Amino acid sequence: MPAALPAHDAVIGDYEVLGEIARGGMGVVYRARDRRSGLLVALKMMLTDGDQADARRFVLEARAMGELTHPGVVTIHHWSEHNGHPFYTMDFVPGVPLNKLLEEGPLPPERAVRYLLGIGRAVAAAHALGIVHRDLKPRNLFLARGDGLEMVKLLDFGVAKTEAAERITRTGALLGSPAFMSPEQIIGDRSIDHRTDLWSLGVVVYRALTGRTRSAATCRPS
């Protein structure tokens, strides 16, 4: 059984943990510093014991991101294991996730379109390598800020569809976030392709423009 997750000021391999950034169902992300180079990084570590499939998928997430070289995808530096917990490090990017920004209300159309174009380019780069993200949602879209610029970064390839990932995916397994999933994804169709990401991207844009994930008509009780 893996040991307890590290606390603030803990050391993970060559990295010193400086604090927690975010926590999800599968992993926790820390702000950390490479003790050799002094470089600030984001360190994502598998959160729970899980099973071999979960551990394998975590590693595949790092590999999927590592295959992508694109300004809209965070760069992976290193992956390893610490006290039974797989982890990987990536660029530390100051900014805010899109879901936090949308808590303030819908976006102006011009800003939403700018984000859409940035996300679309990153997703297209993934699709060109045969990677289907399968979990496009505001929480997985990060607004990186620096040098007076703002760029959307695509995060969390934990349930991405790749050839290797499909070997450990059970038939009918529900992978993704229901509010943003395409119909074929909801029914567990393993033959899904890049079009499922286009559906999810459409829902993200609708959410950004209206503050809702579905129309008022579909929200009314029958």
pLDDT tens profile 96-113 = 999 999 999 999 999 999
Every domain of the chain and the residues it spans: 11-91, 95-213
> Which fold would CATH assign to domain 95-213?
Transferase(Phosphotransferase); domain 1 (1.10.510)
Instruction: Please give the average per-residue pLDDT across 71-75, as a whole number.
Output: 89
- Give 45-53 contacts, CB < 8 A, sequence gap 24+: 45/5, 45/6, 45/12, 45/82, 45/85, 45/86, 45/87, 46/2, 46/85, 46/86, 46/87, 47/5, 47/23, 49/1, 49/2, 50/26, 53/168
Stated length of the chain:
222
Q: Which of 8-12, 61-65, 122-126, 194-198 has the lowest mean pLDDT?
A: 8-12
Q: Are 138 and 208 in contact (CB under 8 A)?
A: yes
Which residue did the predictor score with more confidence, 65 or 18?
18
Is 50 exceeded by the pLDDT of residue 222? no
Give the confidence band of 197 by pLDDT, cuts at 50, 70, 90: very high
Catalytic machinery residues: 135
| Mean pLDDT for the stretch of residues 158-181 | 68
pLDDT value at position 221?
A: 40
Q: How confident is the model at residue 4 (pLDDT cuts 50, 70, 90)?
A: low
Q: Which CATH number does 11-91 carry?
A: 3.30.200.20
